[in-house]
């Protein structure tokens, strides 16, 4: 009898499921034959990992007969099928058998509650089941408790044996990848045999239509010539860093990370529209916390479930993502191994590293040290590079190449420092049928400037506001509008007042930039939104930087470290007029060093975060705990009350859909349809939400609405409209005059 089930929905026997694993094992080995892994041990782990499922209690559970509270995890029972003596006879060392046993026992990371007697009893019972089980890949099945010589309940810890730990990560991580892919009915990996070809044919050839001499530039050729190296590259805006990163990835498995979802969505659309055009759903994935929303827009083109699963399981050759989606492994939570094992044969591009807060920078530093140790490759591509980041990577003994910055002699910016607070009068004076970009440090300041400019009836129709304090539906519209407005091919006129949501990776080009000073890193990012690749050859200035004069700029001390602000203000004091790209880089290099930053809040938070991550014990935390820590959750998702009142019927309709339950009498088709409806309802409901900082979330201003038994949404008492965004109640803001700008810098 071989009818023991591994899965119930759809029904699949242990043998069928294991065969699917072996198929995926073979695919992985074919695509990546040179992986640094013990292929034989990985094969055996695929073969034996689920045999423990033939125990009666598991079969009862899966057939919906009944659940047993004293059920022993099937991974532990699977160990009883390992014939250690036979393995030793065939040349397997004690260490290799231990790795095999650990990977099988813990392939589902759950807490174990059982004693020796219970285990002994279950092994005797499963012996009876094994007598009826036949499988061509396993000869004579012998069931007995695996000796403590090969397995005890102790995990493999890095501080005890780092080499063994990394070997375990590879076996257990890739077993998980293969197992998940088999369960989802997808390929564990898709081969990247297209990216270089598509870059040449769809991109370079299109350049040659306009200019027959077109070729990859100096930066891009350097990346091509150093594909096998870890790289840290500084290159000015407009140098083609995206193409450079893709050319470095080449025909390897790649992850391209960016700090802002807006920028990630734009890059994904650009790649699938202009570079990897055919069959993109098997080649390029998009991975961030809002992935379902983006993929649902493509439901008429692709199979939503399949595309989503392939992306979540990291099966696609190229993934554009936020760092939380892959670098959360630094916490070594239960189940982290699949990500780190995948990165062992991947190439990771990290774009605009200066955008990350000190805690996220710490995760990057620790994460890159793991990637380096396990055999993966990385390339940092950035317009400005904090020197402290390089110094800390060197402290981790990570090898990399850091060539001189890639810049041109072209002058793009002429800077005027204004020793005063940013003001609407000056902004109006610079508006003359042109494109003016205003960047404030906080939402509150951006709203103040916007309201003042609206008072001028002659220009009020030309003014737009964009920041993080809009509901998702309105924010998406604003993003699309500014991308179209800022396209250098489009001849528009107007003033956009924004915050740091436009700082990095947005392909927009304005004629004039008027900005508050934040810090040098942020300032030079902001400069990249003005004269993006144009040459400045006029008299006067195109960038005006307000440093607050004797007052503070908004957000100093909350959003921006005061000591770094003061250092930046001092460094800029001698700047007046045209500035070269090399001068910008030198200014950054002189400020963002360990020596200069030591003692600042920024430095202390960075070093504390590195130490904290390193001190966490492996397997201590769950993945859900890490999601919250990694996102540094200091926010609450709410629906502004005016939005709820205006859209009450529609919102109630979505909630009603979410409250529907699956029942056992449903066909698979009916379940799939309800699942799709729930996803659409959740995304549509999410369109009406925004995130507010926790200190704003006064419980007296919140009203809870339940969605089923375990979920709820909260309505927030405030003012809101789609032109200005959220406006907090004055009685509440007067309690705590905090100017923290809750900008969604990464997620």
- Would you say 727 and 699 are in contact if contact means Cβ atoms under 8 Å apart? no
Q: What is the mean pLDDT of the chain?
A: 90
**Strand residues in 628-723 grouped as ranges (E):** 635-640, 690-693, 702-707, 711-716, 719-721
- Would you say 204 and 215 are in contact if contact means Cβ atoms under 8 Å apart? yes
Pairing outcome for strands 346-351 and 253-257: parallel
**Percent of the chain residues past pLDDT 70, beyond the cut:** 96
Q: Which of 23-32, 648-657, 688-697 is the most confident on average?
A: 23-32
Domain(s) of CATH 3.40.50.300: residues in the chain: 195-395, 413-603
Residue 747 has pLDDT above 50, yes or no: no
Kindly state the helix (H) or strand (E) to which residue 256 belongs, with its residue range: strand 253-257
pLDDT confidence band for 732 (50 / 70 / 90):
very low
Confidence (pLDDT) at 223: 98
Q: CB count, 10 Å around CB of 633?
A: 12
Q: CB count, 10 Å around CB of 1?
A: 9
Confidence (pLDDT) at 513: 98
Confidence (pLDDT) at 699: 74
Confidence (pLDDT) at 633: 52
Confidence (pLDDT) at 403: 96
Domain(s) of CATH 1.10.3210: residues in the chain: 5-184
DSSP 138-182: B-S----PPPTTT--SPPP-TTT-HHHHHHHHHHHHHHHHHHHHH
Compare 615 and 340 and report the one with higher pLDDT. 340
- Would you say 417 and 575 are in contact if contact means Cβ atoms under 8 Å apart? yes
Distance of alpha carbon 350 from alpha carbon 230, whole angstroms = 11
Distance of alpha carbon 641 from alpha carbon 663, whole angstroms = 34
Residue 746 has pLDDT above 50, yes or no: no
Residue 736 has pLDDT above 50, yes or no: no
Residue 254 has pLDDT above 90, yes or no: yes
Closest-CA residue to 74 (of 97, 98, 99, 57): 57
Confidence (pLDDT) at 125: 93
- Would you say 549 and 419 are in contact if contact means Cβ atoms under 8 Å apart? yes
Sign, CA dihedral 590-595-601-605, equals positive
Residue 743 has pLDDT above 60, yes or no: no
pLDDT in tens, 621-642: 778 777 766 655 567 889 999 9
Distance of alpha carbon 347 from alpha carbon 368, whole angstroms = 11
pLDDT in tens, 38-64: 999 999 999 999 999 999 999 998 887
pLDDT in tens, 470-491: 999 999 999 999 999 998 888 9
Distance of alpha carbon 125 from alpha carbon 338, whole angstroms = 33
- Go through 725-745 and write b for each residue having 16 or more CB atoms within 10 A of its CB, e for each that does not: bbbbeeebeeeeeebbbbbbb
pLDDT in tens, 141-171: 989 998 888 888 778 888 888 999 999 999 9
Residue 532 has pLDDT above 70, yes or no: yes
Q: Span 203-212, mean pLDDT?
A: 89
Confidence (pLDDT) at 313: 96
Closest-CA residue to 230 (of 8, 381, 113, 356): 381
Q: Span 26-48, mean pLDDT?
A: 97
pLDDT in tens, 322-373: 998 999 999 999 999 999 999 999 999 999 888 888 989 999 999 999 999 9
- Would you say 341 and 588 are in contact if contact means Cβ atoms under 8 Å apart? no
Looking at the domain that runs over 195-395, which CATH code has it been given? 3.40.50.300
Compare 229 and 386 and report the one with higher pLDDT. 229
Confidence (pLDDT) at 735: 46
DSSP code of residue 104: H
Q: Span 89-117, mean pLDDT?
A: 89
Confidence (pLDDT) at 505: 62
Asked if the bond preceding 664 is cis, omega within 30° of 0, the reply is no
Residue 734 has pLDDT above 50, yes or no: no
Query: Which class would CATH give 5-184?
Result: mainly alpha
Confidence (pLDDT) at 24: 98
pLDDT in tens, 271-291: 999 999 999 999 999 999 888
To 5 degrees, how large is the angle CA 199–CA 204–CA 207? 145
Query: Which class would CATH give 413-603?
Result: alpha beta
Compare 109 and 521 and report the one with higher pLDDT. 521
Confidence (pLDDT) at 374: 98
Residue 733 has pLDDT above 90, yes or no: no
């Amino acid at each position: 009898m071989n009818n023991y089930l591994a899965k119930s929905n759809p029904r699949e026997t242990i043998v069928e499921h294991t065969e699917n694993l072996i198929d995926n094992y073979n695919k992985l080995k074919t695509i990546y034959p040179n992986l640094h892994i013990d292929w034989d041990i990985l094969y055996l782990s695929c073969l034996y990992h689920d045999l423990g499922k033939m125990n009666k209690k598991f079969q009862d559970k899966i057939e919906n007969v009944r659940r047993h509270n004293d059920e022993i995890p099937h991974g532990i029972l699977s160990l009883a099928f390992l014939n250690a003596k036979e393995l030793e006879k065939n040349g397997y060392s004690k260490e290799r058998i231990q790795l095999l046993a650990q990977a099988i026992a813990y392939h589902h990371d759950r807490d174990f509650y059982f004693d020796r007697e219970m285990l002994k009893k279950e092994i005797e019972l499963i012996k009876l089941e094994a007598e009826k089980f036949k499988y061509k890949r396993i000869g004579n099945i012998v069931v007995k408790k695996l000796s403590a010589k090969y397995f005890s309940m102790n995990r493999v810890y890095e501080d005890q044996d780092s080499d063994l730990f990394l070997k375990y990560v590879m076996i257990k991580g890739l077993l998980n990848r293969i197992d998940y892919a088999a369960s989802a009915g997808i390929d564990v990996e898709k081969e990247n045999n297209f990216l270089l070809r598509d870059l040449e044919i769809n991109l370079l050839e299109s350049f040659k239509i306009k200019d027959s001499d077109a070729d990859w530039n100096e930066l891009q050729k350097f990346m091509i010539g150093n594909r096998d190296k870890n790289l840290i590259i500084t290159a000015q805006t407009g140098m083609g860093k995206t193409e450079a990163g893709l050319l470095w990835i080449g025909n390897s498995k790649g992850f391209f990370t960016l700090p802002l979802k807006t920028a990630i969505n734009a890059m994904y659309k650009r790649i699938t529209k202009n570079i990897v055009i055919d069959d993109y759903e098997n080649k390029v994935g998009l991975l961030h916390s809002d992935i379902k929303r983006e993929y649902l827009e493509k439901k008429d083109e692709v199979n939503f479930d399949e595309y989503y699963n392939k992306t979540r399981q990291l099966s696609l050759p190229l993934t554009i993502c936020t760092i939380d989606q892959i670098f959360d492994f630094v916490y070594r939570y239960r189940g982290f191994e699949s990500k780190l094992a995948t990165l062992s044969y991947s190439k990771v591009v990290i774009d605009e590293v200066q955008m990350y807060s000190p805690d996220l920078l710490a995760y990057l530093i620790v994460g890159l040290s793991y990637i380096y140790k396990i055999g993966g490759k990385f390339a940092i591509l950035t317009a400005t590079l904090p020197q402290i980041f390089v110094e800390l990577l060197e402290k981790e003994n990570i090898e990399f190449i850091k060539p001189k910055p890639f810049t041109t002699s072209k002058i793009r910016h002429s800077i005027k420092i204004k020793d005063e607070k940013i003001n609407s009068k000056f902004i109006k004076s610079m508006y003359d049928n042109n494109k003016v970009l205003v960047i404030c440090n906080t939402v509150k300041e951006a709203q103040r400037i916007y309201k003042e400019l609206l008072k001028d009836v002659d220009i009020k129709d030309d003014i737009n506001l964009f920041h993080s304090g809009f509901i998702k539906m309105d924010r998406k519209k604003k993003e699309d509008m500014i991308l179209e407005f800022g396209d250098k091919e489009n001849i528009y006129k107007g003033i956009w007042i924004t915050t740091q949501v436009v700082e990095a990776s947005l392909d927009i080009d304005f004629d004039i930039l008027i900005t508050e000073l934040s810090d040098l890193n942020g300032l030079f990012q902001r400069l990249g939104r003005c004269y993006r690749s144009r040459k400045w050859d006029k008299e006067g200035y195109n960038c005006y930087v307000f440093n607050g004069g004797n007052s503070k700029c908004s957000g100093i001390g909350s959003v921006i470290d005061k000591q770094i602000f003061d250092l930046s203000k001092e460094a800029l004091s001698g700047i007046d007029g045209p500035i070269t790209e090399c001068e910008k880089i030198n200014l950054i290099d002189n400020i963002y060093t360990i020596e200069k930053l030591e003692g600042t809040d920024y430095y202390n938070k960075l070093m504390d975060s590195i130490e904290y991550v390193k001190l966490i014990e492996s397997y201590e935390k769950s993945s859900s705990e890490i999601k919250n820590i990694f996102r540094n959750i200091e926010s609450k998702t709410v629906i502004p009350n005016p939005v709820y009142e205006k859209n009450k019927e529609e919102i109630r309709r979505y909630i009603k859909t979410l409250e529907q339950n699956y029942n056992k009498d449903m066909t698979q088709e009916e379940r799939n349809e309800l699942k799709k409806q729930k996803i659409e309802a959740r995304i549509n409901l999410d369109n009406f939400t925004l995130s507010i900082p926790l200190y704003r979330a006064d419980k007296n201003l919140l009203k809870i609405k339940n969605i089923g038994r375990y979920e709820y949404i909260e309505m927030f008492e405030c003012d809101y409209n789609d032109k200005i965004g959220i406006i907090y109640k004055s009685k509440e803001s007067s309690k705590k005059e905090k100017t923290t700008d809750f900008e969604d810098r990464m997620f």
